[in-house]
Each structure stands twice: as C-alpha cells, then as structure tokens.
C-alpha cells in the first residue's frame, strides 16, 4: 500500500529529520550539498520536501510500502488472557485491550494509578500491592505477561548470570511472574538505554535469565513511537519472549510495520484524524512570571539557544558555562512536528514542554492526547500525580500496534492447537477454562432462565443460566453479568457475597466457577467487553459483572432445593431505613418458564 504522503503532503525539515533519525542540522547540510532538494519554501523561507524526492532513504521506502493497513485488520481468534505488571495509568493495558487482549489481573503499587485504572475499567482486576508480595501461580491459562519493569543494575556473582543472582530487582519479579504463570509469550518494555546500561551487562543478564526460565527472546527492537500514530518523539525498547515448547511458531511474530504518515502536535491537540474534537480544557501547572517572560521569546520548535544571550544566562544561571548541549531547557513545541518525549514534570527547566503558541506548559489533557489516551480516559490524584502517570505511560497507539503483532503470533499458535472454546461441536470440558463436566447431560431444565438461585449459604453459591450464544464469551473472558436494580443490590446480600457460581443450560454440561470479585457496570461497559446486551433492557440498566476463575473441585448441589433470590417473579423488599428488612427475598408465586431471559 502506498503512503498518503506520496500524493497529498509535503514534509517539513523537522519531519524529515524525525523520520530519518537525524538532526535538522544534518538535513540542512544535505540540502547544501545537494543530497536533498526542497520542493518549495514557505512564505517565511522554511523548506518543504516532496515524498517522491526522498525515495533513496530506506525509512521512507518502508513507510511508503508498509503493511500497516493489513496489520490494523488483525483480530484475535478469541480473547487472549493477560497479566500485566507495573500497570501505571493503563497505557500499555489499554492498547493491548484494543488489540484483543483481556486482562485477568493488573498489578500496580501506586495508589493514584490504581484509582485511575479502577475509574476507567471497573471490571478490571486491579491488585494494588508490592509485586514482590503477590503469588501469581493461581492465575492459569495465561497467554501473555506484560509490563514495563524499571531499568536497574544487577549485582554480579562472578561470571554467572542466573535467576537467583537478580533477586531483589524488579526484573526478578517480572521473570518470577513469567515462571509462575507460564504464559505463551511475554512483552517487556523499557527505555532504549537498557541496551547499553551498565556497559551492556544488564541486557546480557536479562537474556540469560529468560533462557533459564524456559523462554527464547526475540532480538530486542527499539520502536519509535512516531511510526505508530503517536505524535511524539518517544522511543521504547520492546522485549518479546516465546515459551520454548512453542518456538516452531516464532516465525509468525513480526514487529509492526510503520504507519504511513507521521502525526504532529497539531494532530494531537486539534480536531482532525487522531481526535474528532479540539482538546478539552483541563488542569495544568504554570510558569513563574520571570520564566514566562523569558519563554515567551522562544519560537515554535525552538529552545534556549534561540534566546538573546542575556536571557540565556538568566534562564540557565550556573549551567550556562557548563559543557553539554542542554537541549532540554527552554523547549517550545512546534505545531508541525511531533512532540518531544513527555516527562513527568512539564515545567521544570530540563524537562519543560511549552505549548506551541501559548506561553505555558502543556495541560494534563494535552499530555494525555500526545500519549494517545482517549479523552474519556480520566486520571486520578493531584495534578502533578496525573502528569507523572501520563509521562510514565506507554503511548496507547504504540501499545496497540505491538499488541496486534502479538495477537498474530497467538492466532498462529491457537490455530495449531485450538482452545477448546473454538472446537466446533465439542463441549468445553477442560478444568483450566473454568469448566467441569457433570457425569451426564441435563435432560430437563427445572430452572426459570430469568431467575438467579441460591444453592449454598456457606460459601454463598449462586446458580444461574445463560444464552447459548454467550457460552464462549463467558469462558473466554471469565465474566458473567446479570441485570440488577438498586433495590436488589441493597437488599439481596447474596449478590455481593457470592463466592461460587454454577451456570446451567438444558442439554449441555454445567459450568463451575469461583467468583473473584464484581463490578456494577452499564450497557456501554459490556459493549466494550464484546457483549451485546438485550435490546429490551433500558439504556440506564445496571448489571452486576462477576469476575470468574477456574473451579477445580466438584460442587454438589440439589437443584430441586435451589432458592430463587432475584429475577422475574421474585419479590424483593424495598430498602427501609427505619427498619431491618428480612435478609432473604420471598417468592411471590412459582415461576413459569419464560422466553424473556434476564441472565446471559
């Protein structure tokens, strides 16, 4: 597919430099020597380059004949289960979700980041805890472990680079979780400096440990975010590993091809291709007056060297006479180029990111857009905490591109050894998918499909039904939802106290699950999970969404003694603040079979 640049757009000097990974000064030298020739110049003398005149550069050819369009159509053959560590504000997790992964658990120690995750994805299983204190071996049938572990030096014992030698580092925890959960593949991401960190010893230790725990590392790749619909000059090192028993499928993994244009700050903050509206207003920090008076003189795309000498000295103070480029100081972004890499503090001297045309740091929402978070993704905590969460995140669009490459690999593995949910005509029977077979099929259905039943008090065990078309969705995603009212949530305590769940359907085998937790969600939340709610349900209908996990012990129950607790025909008392309501609801009349099913 030929890039849209070929016919529709001219490239600025800055964009050419970004695509070719050189400085603007280098492009200017090429122009003087005749190696590149501007097609024309703007009214203020800035050169513009034609795509077709840059064909000798391999980076340009890779973009022009990229397979990006086809890769964007990659869809998972089923929802693949993932565990994420160091989840932060969710940039990586959201991108992977958009690619087709379903998060079974996300671990993060920072409270504000956890609140951000909970606010935006109430159904996600967020584990707010030090990763070193968590046993992940309870998570079974995991397809992917992902996370951005911090770059740390290791203590070396002689020449041995073993798993036990890295104990106490966060990479040790990352490797431990991989070892405990045995995913098919893993994805680690880090700063590009990891490749040369500690003289290259750090990456060698990582490779050695990955080999020791039974995985093979694909040759690491530094990915430039600008090539993946991210309007930011951010670079991340990606580490992808495949379990050794699946190495025959390694050729199915391909690093994502580049998108066919580069996006700029204008694309991020203005209405256009990336976003359908102008950037919303949001909180932000400000400069002190003396600093604002100086930064006001920096041109778009410029920095401290573009100031008069007097202002340079005033801004840099004692740093003015020090060696080094100090290129991060006094930076103003340009509308027509990607943003500089966002940091955790947009107003500090070394990491400042000034708005292209206003003399102020970028706001929280502007930060989020440059990291390609959707506008509906909200951040919790103080303003500075929000900046930190966003600055530390993996750009969502970059994460999605990586996710699609992983999905293509997992699809290949799946087709070679299908998940039971995909085997046509075969009932789901394997423990690890949360399914246990009964000794025989149910030949008759005593239960009303519109009712949820209580079969055990200790622990609370509920019995429900589901639509035939929802079986794969329940098993693959490990969710079960049931429409509820506020009154039912207030009075039917079993709904919130449930620990086990049995699902039945006439003519097929029972499904048995443990209930790990619940969320109260709306129709839009279920749609995001790929579940189509009943058209008969009102737009404001609420659902209790249970998070499920495999149940490995048989559950014995007497179906004839099941107590109806909620659903059609079940009388649920209204909440009364003046008196205690009886704990259990009563049945108004024996339920009749109904085609108006409430349960999924």
What angle in degrees, to the nearest 10, is found between the helix axes of 383-391 and 111-120? 80
Q: What is the pLDDT of residues 368-389, one digit of tens each?
A: 999 999 999 999 999 999 999 9
Phi, psi of 362 (to 5 degrees): -65, 150
Average pLDDT over residues 247-270: 95
> How much is the pLDDT for 472?
84
Name the band, by pLDDT with cuts 50, 70 and 90, for residue 336. very high
Reduce the DSSP state of residue 408 to 3 states and report it. helix
Name the band, by pLDDT with cuts 50, 70 and 90, for residue 179. very high
| Token pair 């700050």: residue | 265
- State which fold the 70-259+396-412 domain adopts: Rossmann fold (3.40.50)
Q: 515 pLDDT exceeds 90?
A: no
CATH architecture under which domain 5-65 falls: Orthogonal Bundle (1.10)
Average pLDDT over residues 102-128: 94
CA distance 501 to 432: 16
The sign of the CA dihedral 139, 143, 146, 152 is: positive
Token pair recorded at residue 366: 């502007």
What's the count of helices (H) and strands (E) in the chain, helices before strands? Answer: 19, 20
Sheet holding 40-41, edge to edge: 10-12, 47-50, 40-41
> How much is the pLDDT for 423?
41
Name the band, by pLDDT with cuts 50, 70 and 90, for residue 201. confident
CA distance 119 to 378: 7
Q: 565 pLDDT exceeds 80?
A: yes
State in Å, rounded, how far the first CA of the chain is from the last one. 43
Map out the domains of the chain as residue ranges: 5-65, 70-259+396-412, 431-587
pLDDT over 70, % of the chain: 84
**Catalytic site residue 151?**
yes
Catalytic residue of the set 114, 151, 354, 470 = 151
Most confident of 177-186, 418-427, 432-441: 177-186
Q: Which residue has the higher pLDDT, 523 or 587?
A: 523
| Helix (H) or strand (E) segment spanning residue 240 | strand 235-243
């Amino acid at each position: 597919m030929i890039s849209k640049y070929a016919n529709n757009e001219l490239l600025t000097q800055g964009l050419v430099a970004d695509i070719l990974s050189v400085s603007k000064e280098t492009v200017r030298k090429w122009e003087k020597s005749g190696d590149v020739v501007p097609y024309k110049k703007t009214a203020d003398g800035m050169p513009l380059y034609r795509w077709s005149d840059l064909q000798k550069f391999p980076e340009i050819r890779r973009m022009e004949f990229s397979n990006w369009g086809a890769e964007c159509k990659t869809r998972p053959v089923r929802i693949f289960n993932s565990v994420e560590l160091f989840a932060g504000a969710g940039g990586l997790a959201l991108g992977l979700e958009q690619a087709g992964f379903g998060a079974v658990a996300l671990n993060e120690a920072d409270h504000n980041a956890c609140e951000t995750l909970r606010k935006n994805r109430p159904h996600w299983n967020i584990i707010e805890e030090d990763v070193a204190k968590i046993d992940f071996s309870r998570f079974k049938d995991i397809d992917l472990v992902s996370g951005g572990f911090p770059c740390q030096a290791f203590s070396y014992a002689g020449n041995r680079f073993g798993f036990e030698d890295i104990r106490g580092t966060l990479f040790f925890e990352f490797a431990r979780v991989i070892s405990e959960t045995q995913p098919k593949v893993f994805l680690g991401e880090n700063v590009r400096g990891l490749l040369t960190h500690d003289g290259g010893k750090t990456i060698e230790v990582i490779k050695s440990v990955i080999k020791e725990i039974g995985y093979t590392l694909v040759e690491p790749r530094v990915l430039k975010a600008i090539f993946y619909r991210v309007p930011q000059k951010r670079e991340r090192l990606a580490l992808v590993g495949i379990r050794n028993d699946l190495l025959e499928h390694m050729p199915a993994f391909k690093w994502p091809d580049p998108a066919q244009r580069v996006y700029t700050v204008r694309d991020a903050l203005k209405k256009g291709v990336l976003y359908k509206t102008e950037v919303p207003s949001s909180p932000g920090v400000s400069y002190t007056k003396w600093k604002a008076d100086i930064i006001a003189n920096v041109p778009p795309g410029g920095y401290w060297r573009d100031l008069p000498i007097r202002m340079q000295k005033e801004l840099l103070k004692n740093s003015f006479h020090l060696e080094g480029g100090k290129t991060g100081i006094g930076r103003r972004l340009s509308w027509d180029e990607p943003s500089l890499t966002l940091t955790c503090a947009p107003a500090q001297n070394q990491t400042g990111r000034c708005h292209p045309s206003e003399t102020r740091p970028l706001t929280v929402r502007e930060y989020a857009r440059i990291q390609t978070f959707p506008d509906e993704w909200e951040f919790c905590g103080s303003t500075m905490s929000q900046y930190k969460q966003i600055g530390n995140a993996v750009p969502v669009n970059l994460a999605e591109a990586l996710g699609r490459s992983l999905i293509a690999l997992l699809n290949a593995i799946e087709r070679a050894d299908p998940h039971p949910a995909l085997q046509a005509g075969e009932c789901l029977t394997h423990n690890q998918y949360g399914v246990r077979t009964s000794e025989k099929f149910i030949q008759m259905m005593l239960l009303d499909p519109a009712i949820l039943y209580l079969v055990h008090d200790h622990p609370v065990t509920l019995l429900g039904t589901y639509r035939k078309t929802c079986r794969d969705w329940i098993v693959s995603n490990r969710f079960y939802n049931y429409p509820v009212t506020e009154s039912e949530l207030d009075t039917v305590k079993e709904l919130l106290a449930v620990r086990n769940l049995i699902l039945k359907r006439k003519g097929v085998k029972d499904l048995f699950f443990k209930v790990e937790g619940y969320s109260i969600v709306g129709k839009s939340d279920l749609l995001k999970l790929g579940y189509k709610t009943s058209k008969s349900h009102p737009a404001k209908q609420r659902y209790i969404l249970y998070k499920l996990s495999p149940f490995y012990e048989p559950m014995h129950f007497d179906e004839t003694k099941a107590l109806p607790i909620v659903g059609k025909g079940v009388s649920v008392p209204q909440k009364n603040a003046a008196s205690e309501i009886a704990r259990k609801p009563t049945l108004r009349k024996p339920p009749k079979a109904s085609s108006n099913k409430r349960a999924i």
